Each structure stands twice: as C-alpha cells, then as structure tokens.
C-alpha cells in the first residue's frame, strides 16, 4: 500500500525500458517490509542539467542514474563519495537531511562480479576499456585501485578519454594510463589481458571490424567482459569464446552494483545471490 509516508526512489535515464532495476528494488522492498517504492523515469536527454533539481523538487529519497545523466547531475549535488569523486560520475544519489549525496557503485560491482564468476584477480593486468563515459571511468578507477599495470581508455572522441586520464592519473601514480582512438587498429596494438566493453547505444557500431586474434587465450589468458546486461548478442563475445578467451556478461555487475545501491537506499545489506533469486536469473 503506497501512502503519503512511502519513500519514493527512481531510476532516471534514457532509454530505460530494458532495465531490471525497478523489479529488483521493489521486490527487495516487499520482502524486507520497507515502506518504499522504486519507479522508472525516462527523462529526455536534453533536460539532463535539470535532473538534480528535479530530485529535490519531487522529494525523491534517492535514485539511480544511467546514460546520459551520470555526469550531468554533478553540479547539482552537495557532496560526492570517494568513488564518485574519483570517477567523475555518479550512478546513485541519496537524499540525506536536505542534501544530495552522489555515489558510484559501478566499479566495485564490476570487480565483485569478476572475482565471483571467473575467479579473476586483476593485479598486474593490462586493461583496455572501450568507452570513457561514466561507467568506463568508474571501472577504470576500480581497476587502478586493485593494482592493474595499465589502463587504456578507448573512445570515439579521444579528448574525452584524455580528460578522464587527467582526473585518474594523479590518484593512481603506480598505474600507466593511456588514451586511444576507438579503432580496430588501435585496439590491436597490444595483447590486452582484460577488456571491458562499456559502449552502449550509438557507440556499439564502432566495434565493427574489431578483431580478437591478438588477445592471449587459455585459462591464464585474456578476459573479455561486457557491462551491458541487456544485449542479447553483445559484440565480439562469440568471437572471443571461439578464440579461447574467457568471457563475462554484464548481469553479474548489475547484481553486485545493485546490492550496493540498495544498501545506500535502505541501510539494509543484501547479497548478490539474493538479487539473483529475486530476478530469477540463476543460470546467468
């Protein structure tokens, strides 16, 4: 029963019809007896700069943010967690005492899923991240904090990757950061041991013509991961599997970052296994 006391949380992004987050959070609220509701709000990208003030005006208790709002909301926030500050992007906003606090759970969720599903440790790896948006930067920061050797950010507009590196490099002086154009030739220039595809929507066609033959194969070789859980046939996953490169889809990242988001919203801890059961996705 929704009443005037029910706390309202939201997912703000465009597009969001594919999102599993409303089902996940609402079922968790129900199971734990929390008087709250989570609603999807498909917001026009051209109004991105007004999202923060809209959160205040509507009295939302908190929200998740997806493309293209993870960066646009920053000027409207009162404070950032360390993870959000490092990434320069937020995917969780929580209202606390009249203040809006930005967090980022993408990087921690990604690492947790990688370790759980593939038993992969990232220390010493050479990492290629395809896409320098909010998700890519959050994952880059998490990988740097976990001790990788190199992070190369590939982006259609190289200056965006360079700007991200300017923010990250001083925080992680032990990591070699590089920027590259999002082209097949640039990607083939090194035998990456971890690849993270953070491209979505308009960026995905850029992967046409990319090859994976230069990636190390086998149990101790390269890993290709995709942050997009909703794609039925993510680019190059089949090619990687055929080449002997281990692969990972994005559903695990969704579960782990979702568990961290739910804890920020409710103060209650849930496990990725609980979320797996809520979404009935045991085989993923």
Per CATH, domain 7-104+252-279 is 3.40.50.10860: yes
Common-topology check for domains 7-104+252-279 and 107-249: yes
Q: SS3 letters for 121-144?
A: CCCCCEEEEECCCHHHHHHHHHHH
Q: What are the tens digits of pLDDT across the range 191-221?
A: 999 999 999 878 889 999 999 999 999 878 9
Measure Cα distances from 272 to 30, 53, 88, 159, 246 in Å.
17, 32, 26, 36, 22
∠ CA 279-133-142, rounded to 5°? 70
Tell me which CATH code domain 107-249 carries: 3.40.50.720
Segments making up each domain of the chain, as ranges? 7-104+252-279, 107-249
pLDDT value, residue 281? 56
Distance CA 149, CA 173 (A): 11
Query: Is 204 annotated as catalytic?
Result: no
**Residue 50: HSE in the Cβ half-sphere, 13 Å Cα cutoff:** 8
Residues 6+ apart with CB under 8 A from 160: 132, 133
The active-site residue, picked from 70, 125, 256, 260, is 70
Q: What are phi and psi of 251, to 5 degrees?
A: -65, -35
Residue 127 near residue 195, CB atoms below 8 Å: yes
pLDDT value, residue 1? 86
Q: Centre a 10 Å sphere on the Cβ of residue 45 and count the other Cβ atoms it contains.
A: 12
Name the stretches of the chain with pLDDT < 70. 281-284
Distance CA 169, CA 175 (A): 7
Q: Which residues are 95's β-sheet partners?
A: 100
pLDDT value, residue 43? 92
């Amino acid at each position: 029963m929704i009443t005037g006391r029910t706390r309202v949380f939201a997912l703000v992004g465009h597009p969001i019809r594919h999102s599993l987050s409303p089902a996940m959070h609402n079922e968790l609220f129900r199971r734990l007896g929390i008087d709250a509701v989570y609603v999807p709000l498909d917001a026009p990208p051209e109004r991105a700069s007004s999202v923060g003030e809209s959160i205040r005006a509507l009295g939302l208790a908190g929200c998740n943010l997806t493309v293209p709002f993870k960066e646009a909301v920053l000027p409207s926030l009162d404070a950032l967690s360390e993870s959000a500050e490092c990434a320069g992007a937020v995917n969780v906003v929580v209202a606390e005492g009249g203040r809006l606090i930005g967090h980022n759970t993408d990087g921690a969720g990604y690492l947790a899923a990688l370790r759980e599903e593939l038993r992969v440790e990232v220390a010493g790896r050479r990492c290629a991240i395809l896409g320098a948006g909010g998700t890519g930067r959050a994952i880059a920061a998490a990988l740097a904090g976990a001790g990788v050797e190199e992070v190369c950010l590939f982006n259609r507009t190289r200056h965006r990757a360079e700007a991200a590196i300017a923010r990250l490099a001083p925080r992680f002086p032990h990591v070699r950061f590089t920027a590259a154009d999002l082209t097949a030739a640039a990607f083939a220039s090194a035998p990456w041991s971890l690849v993270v595809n953070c491209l979505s929507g308009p960026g995905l066609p850029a992967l046409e013509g990319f090859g994976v033959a230069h990636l190390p194969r086998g149990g101790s070789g390269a890993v290709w991961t995709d942050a997009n859980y909703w794609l039925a046939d993510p680019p190059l996953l089949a090619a990687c599997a055929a080449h002997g490169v281990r692969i990972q889809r994005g559903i695990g990242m969704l579960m782990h970052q979702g568990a961290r988001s739910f804890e920020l919203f409710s103060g209650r801890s849930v496990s990725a296994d609980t979320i797996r059961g809520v979404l009935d996705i045991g085989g993923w």
